[in-house]
Amino acid sequence: MNKILLIIRREYLSRVKKKSFIIMTFLTPLLIAGIYGLIGYFTYKGIKDTHDKVAVVNNNKILIEKLVSDKNIKYEYVTQSLEEMKKSFKKGDYDYVLYLPNFTLQAPDSIQLFGAKQAGLSLNRRISGDIEELIRNQKLKESGIAQSDLDKLKTSVDISVKKIAETGQEQDSSAGASTIIAFIAGILMFMFIMLYGIQVMRGVIEEKTSRIIEVMISSVKPFQLMMGKIIGIAMVGLTQFILWIVLTLTISTVAVSFFTNKDDIKKSVAVSQAGQGVAQLSQGTPAASAMQGPMADIQKSLAGLDIAKIVTVFIFFFLGGYLFYSALYAAIGSAVDSETETQQFMMPVMMPLLLGYALSLSVVTNDPYGPIAFWLSMIPFTSPIAMVVRLPYGVPNWELALSMLILVVGFIGTVWVAGRIYRVGILMYGKKTTFKEMFKWFTYKA
């Protein structure tokens, strides 16, 4: 046991003392925040700065209503024919030409959009939506409904989602917040398992090719060496993950306090000081909702989630998933002489992880309580990702406990299998390894 602790200490300290580890530990949360900030900024800027001028050639005698322009799309009805517009299109007066043929309101078809450049998907959907709304409004008017009545038909509905706990109490819930956290957890889990699992494999290959392993094997057993390396790198990953959580929470707190509107805070304080009765009377009105602001909505959404439980379970499944896969990566590293030879062995190991990642961010987020989500969160090859993706939506405690138990049993099984391959492969040199050869190593008696 003391020998395993010495190996763990060596693996841990040799990595955390590196400048690259220290720099990336503190820099990664800032980079991630900066990347998402840039994505949000350019998305907003792209929507705000998009101004398309569309010439409308309306050959439809039934469609009397006209498309309404806004700050992003300007519709201009022209009297020229479609062919004339095509010939004069290169002059640059318009970005696109929208052609409305003579169709019936019940079966609108053959609508075409011409342009010197390819129309984007968002523009295409926006114009399609405008035409659909135009046809719908004209149908309603032909049915004898006035414009004022049409305006009354438009109602915005805000549903307050509640979840009933096992105790019978109501809890605030948010599908949006749950989905965002599920996506982030799934991506981080996949990234961490791949990153630190490959580190184990590279460490084994490096020691094997430098022949240091021959000296180490003389004083420790191969299994002790493998376990010390796996656990040591796991502690490195856990240290980095905890630091990332602390730094991310700090950055998030600063960002929330920076972007929160101070005027809204003052108004909220003024309302609370005006008296509890007046505050209750104004609650639920548009003015009161406006005072809360978007940050209050985000905080309300997150308040319905047990963040401490999510983080705790994430750490468990990160360690379990990492230990499960890193044992296999250690076996691969012991079987080859260089990193270029690992490709044929890495694919069978990576495929279940990639499958769990793809299905978790598609099937599980859409149906977190379905049979596919259940079995993905039980099978050890996919449960580290699938369970952390399901967790924000709410998972019964018995399912969570069963998944943890199966993952622990799976880890013990993979360590046993990997250990039998590792003990032979670590001393093999100059021979091209195959799956058949690795199976022989597994069957060798100690």
* pLDDT bucket at 266, cuts 50 / 70 / 90: very low
- Long-range Cβ pairs for the range 213-217 (8 Å, 24+): 213/426, 213/427, 214/427, 217/426, 217/427
Superfamily of domain 51-144: Periplasmic binding protein-like II (3.40.190.10)
| Token duo for residue 187 | 């991506």
Beta bridge partners of 100: 58
CB burial of residue 187 (10 Å; 0-12, 13-18, 19+)? middle
CB-CB contact of 370 with 360 (8 Å): no
Q: How far is CA 381 from CA 322, 330, 409, 437, in A?
A: 11, 16, 12, 24
* pLDDT bucket at 403, cuts 50 / 70 / 90: very high
* pLDDT bucket at 62, cuts 50 / 70 / 90: confident
d(CA 124, CA 138): 21
CB-CB contact of 229 with 203 (8 Å): yes
d(CA 47, CA 122): 10
- What mean pLDDT comes out for the span 230-252? 82
| Token duo for residue 167 | 């105790």
pLDDT per position as a tens digit, 199-225? 888 887 877 777 676 667 667 777 777
* pLDDT bucket at 406, cuts 50 / 70 / 90: very high
CB-CB contact of 261 with 231 (8 Å): no
Where is average pLDDT lowest: 72-76, 162-166, 180-184? 162-166
Q: Whose CA is closest to 183, among 395, 392, 407? A: 392
Domains of the chain, by residue range, sit at: 51-144, 177-250+306-443
Provide the pLDDT for residue 301. Answer: 53
d(CA 421, CA 424): 6
d(CA 387, CA 400): 8
d(CA 324, CA 410): 7
pLDDT per position as a tens digit, 317-375? 888 888 888 888 888 887 777 777 777 788 888 888 888 888 888 888 888 888 998 99
